[in-house]
Structure 1
Amino acid sequence: MTGVISLLPEGRPGLLAPLLSGAWLSGGSEDLARYLAEGGYAPLPAPDRLLDRIAAAGLRGRGGAGFPAAVKIRAVRDAPGPPVVVANGEEGEPGSVKDRWLLRHRPHMVLDGLRLAAAMTGAERGCVYLSDARAERAVRRALAERPPELHIDVVRTEHAYVAGEETAVVRRIDGGPALPTAKPPRPFESGVGGAPTLVANVETLARVALTHSRPEAADDVAGAHLLTLAGARGAAALVEVPVGTHLKVLADLCGHGRAEAVLMGGLFGGLHGAGWTDLPLDHESLTAAGGALGCGALYFLHPEDCPVAVAGEATAYLAAQSARQCGVCVSGTGALAGTLTSVARGTANHDTTDQLHRWSRQLPGRGACGLLDAAARIVATLLAHFPDRVDAHRGSACPACADPAPEDGRRFRVPMP
């Protein structure tokens, strides 16, 4: 892996910049004394003031949906009953490493954000939810270094695509399996132990902490993003970039300048072909282009890569990762993956393509979580951006698609920096 790279302008506060500016890591985790010197764990005399600052800066959640953080916090604060706050560090997307990196290297910043979330909501109980063993050790060390002001549990789960979905998080913390449940109710209404619960991504919480320690830079903090960049033929990196950075800049950064397409948002944002290089990194532009930033993982496709093969492997992985609780998800993801396999093998016809078009329109929104939506979006964007490549497979197998799509998502896995 290329490593950890900050593209933030000099002097702009970020989550990666302190690491790059000096050797402050001890045993792989940030030093408490250094974090305190940077303004960490500062007193919070007026929680509502911080909440207003977060709202004004427009901080969005970094778990995938991009929901306004202040709205989510207020919903939990205003719900009846004593709330619970959860730092969600379970990265289901195989191409993302940002949350594990933060928990391993900046646990105090995440815990600081959790402390602030508790103050803003009135919670007296918190939880750090994760699946990475090294991250768990780092968090427990940080808790021992500075005992928290509220009761905090550390709950470890098995890694799975759906394990980080917010209702799955609640279910696992309550002692059940890490599988999604039907909604409503949502966690802000009835979560851990039936209490209103804030399930916040760890990057979101880290940015809350940085906003508190650097209030004058709240807009910059809210606008920056951690991204995982990868591809089959270039390097990979964890980067922090300001909002508006063009995707072409990101591709060039890791040697993917020859890329002709990108799989966006982990497996959630779909495939994008012609014109992707001109897309700026912001939710509105990506949504308008039919994509989504999701967890901030980008996978670049070079001219030698076949988008049908990439889509086939992605849908096969999603089908294998289904929680198998929703019949429509089991049958839908299986049908999409199986049909893409027939396209890859050259046995598809016009009816096959029509089926894929129909399913990609009908399936979104019908599962308990976003897994089915992700599979449908991959197929929809493949058909929209690469119709000629799909047609070229009709009647003849593609060498790049010769092997059956593996179900382990290995194409998209990124080594940790």
Structure 2
Amino acid sequence: MTGVFSLLPDGRPGLLAPLLSGAWLSGGGEDGARYLAAGGYAPLTSPGRLLDRIAAVGLRGRGGAGFPAAVKIQAVRDAPGPPVVVANGEEGEPGSVKDRWLLRHRPHLVLDGIRLVAAMTGAERGCVYLSDAPAEQAVRQALAECPPTPRIDVVRTEHTYVAGEETAVVRRIDGGPALPTAKPPRPFESGVGGAPTLVANVETLARIALIHSRPEAADAVAGSHLVTLSGGSGASALAEVPAGTHLKVLADLCRHGRAEAVLLGGLFGGLHGPGWTDLPLDHDRLRAAGGALGCGALHFLHPEDCPVAVANEATAYLAAQSARQCGVCVAGTGAMARTLTDVARGRSDDDSAGKLHRWSRQLPGRGACGLLDAAARVVATLLAHFPEHVEAHRRSRCAACETATPEDGRRFTVPVP
């Protein structure tokens, strides 16, 4: 990891700002006394006014779906009974590091966000859900420095792709396995212990805390994103950037200017080839282009990287990470992964592309979580943007595909800075 960067204009508050200014303890984490002195944990005199502000600036969740944060908070607020607020810090996407970084380095900002959402919803319990040991240590230290109201528990889980799905989060906190459940009910209706539960990504909560402490900059705070940048031939980085920043700017930031394609949203947003440099970091415009911002992880493909190999590794990894609860997911991800492996190894038949195309259209929306959708999108975008590569693998051997290591996700894994 080469470092942590901010492309925010000077003076704009951000989640990375204290690190970049050197305002940390020697251990690298956020100090409770320093956070209090900077305006953290400020009293909330009007929870309704803060909720209105979050709605007005259009803050979206940062966990992947980009759902409006105020709508989610309001749904829990309106539900009967005292709710629970969960900070979801379990990053299933191997290419994302932002949530673990926040919990390791800015735990007070996340805990402050839980406090504020608890006040807005009337929650009597909070929870931090994670799988990362250094993050757990940082959160527990922060809780000891500034004992919060309401009570906040820490729940550790095993790291898997599906462990951060909101129903899996609820299931694990309640003592079960971190596996998705059928919906409805959704957690805002019946979650932890049967109570209405807000499962919020830790970056979302951190931005709510920053909106509260810096209301004059609320629009800028809501319009910034933490993104994880990586690629086989360049460096990796965690960056904070304004919405609308073109992907080419982000590629250049960490020496991926030679890239010819990008895998968006971790493994959820699909592959994009010619024209990707003109795509902006924007939920709606990426969706219109057939992609998704997801958790904000971008993996750049250089000229020596084969899109078929990347797609093969992505689908094989997703198939291996399936919760194995939904027959359609087990069969669908397995079939796509096996067929793509045949394509990558030069063993495809005349109908391989046709089968992949049918599955990519028929399978989305049929699983209990988004894993099957992610695999189908990877396949669909490979066929849409790189049909000549798929066809070429029928005629000649591909060195990049022969050395690929499907299933382990190593290509996409990024270390936390």
**Superposition TM-score, scaled by structure 1 size:** 0.99
The aligned residue for residue 287 of structure 2 is: 287
Pairing 1:413–2:396 present? no
Work out the CA distance in 2 between the residues paired with 1:2 and 1:332.
37
Work out the CA distance in 2 between the residues paired with 1:362 and 1:50.
42
Q: How does 1:6-405 map to 2 (within 5 A)?
A: 6-403=6-403, 405=405
1:349-386, CA deviations, whole angstroms, 9 ceiling, x for partnerless residues? Answer: 33110000000000000000000000000000000000
Match of 1:248, SS?
helix
1:260, distance to aligned residue in structure 2 (A): 0.1
Work out the CA distance in 1 between the residues paired with 2:82 and 2:41.
23
Q: Unaligned regions of 5+ residues in structure 2, if any?
A: none
Match of 1:29, SS?
coil
Query: Contact 1:348–1:395 at 8 Å: present in 2 too?
Result: no
Work out the CA distance in 2 between the residues paired with 1:210 and 1:95.
25
Q: Unaligned regions of 5+ residues in structure 1, if any?
A: none
Query: Contact 1:63–1:294 at 8 Å: present in 2 too?
Result: yes
Letter in 1 for 2:25: L
1:7-28, CA deviations, whole angstroms, 9 ceiling, x for partnerless residues? Answer: 1000001000121012423422
Match of 1:25, SS?
coil
1:304-356, CA deviations, whole angstroms, 9 ceiling, x for partnerless residues? Answer: 00000000000000000000000000000000000000101112133110000
Work out the CA distance in 2 between the residues paired with 1:17 and 1:323.
38
1:34, distance to aligned residue in structure 2 (A): 1.6
**Cα distance change on mapping 1:364 and 1:71 into 2, 3 Å:** same
1:149, distance to aligned residue in structure 2 (A): 1.0
Query: Contact 1:316–1:405 at 8 Å: present in 2 too?
Result: no
Query: Contact 1:235–1:255 at 8 Å: present in 2 too?
Result: yes
Letter in 1 for 2:301: L
Match of 2:375, SS?
helix
Match of 1:153, SS?
strand
Work out the CA distance in 1 between the residues paired with 2:24 and 2:401.
46
1:127, distance to aligned residue in structure 2 (A): 0.4
1:35, distance to aligned residue in structure 2 (A): 1.1
Letter in 1 for 2:138: A
Match of 1:200, SS?
strand
Work out the CA distance in 2 between the residues paired with 1:352 and 1:76.
46
**Superposition TM-score, scaled by structure 2 size:** 0.99
1:29, distance to aligned residue in structure 2 (A): 1.2
The list of structure 1 runs, each at least 4 consecutive aligned residues, that deviate by more than 6 angstroms after superposition, is: none
Query: Contact 1:88–1:201 at 8 Å: present in 2 too?
Result: yes
Match of 1:367, SS?
coil
Percentage of matched positions with identical amino acids? 84
Work out the CA distance in 2 between the residues paired with 1:407 and 1:288.
30
1:151, distance to aligned residue in structure 2 (A): 1.2
1:61-88, CA deviations, whole angstroms, 9 ceiling, x for partnerless residues? Answer: 0000000000000000001111000000
1:395, distance to aligned residue in structure 2 (A): 3.3
1:204-263, CA deviations, whole angstroms, 9 ceiling, x for partnerless residues? Answer: 000000000000111100000000000000000000000110000000000000000000
Query: When the two structures are aligned, how many residues end up with a matched partner?
Result: 417
1:404, distance to aligned residue in structure 2 (A): 5.4
Work out the CA distance in 1 between the residues paired with 2:25 and 2:237.
19
Match of 1:76, SS?
helix
Query: Contact 1:182–1:368 at 8 Å: present in 2 too?
Result: yes
Q: CA RMSD in A?
A: 0.8
1:136-172, CA deviations, whole angstroms, 9 ceiling, x for partnerless residues? Answer: 0000000000001111110000000000000000000
**Cα distance change on mapping 1:31 and 1:81 into 2, 3 Å:** same
Work out the CA distance in 2 between the residues paired with 1:168 and 1:62.
18
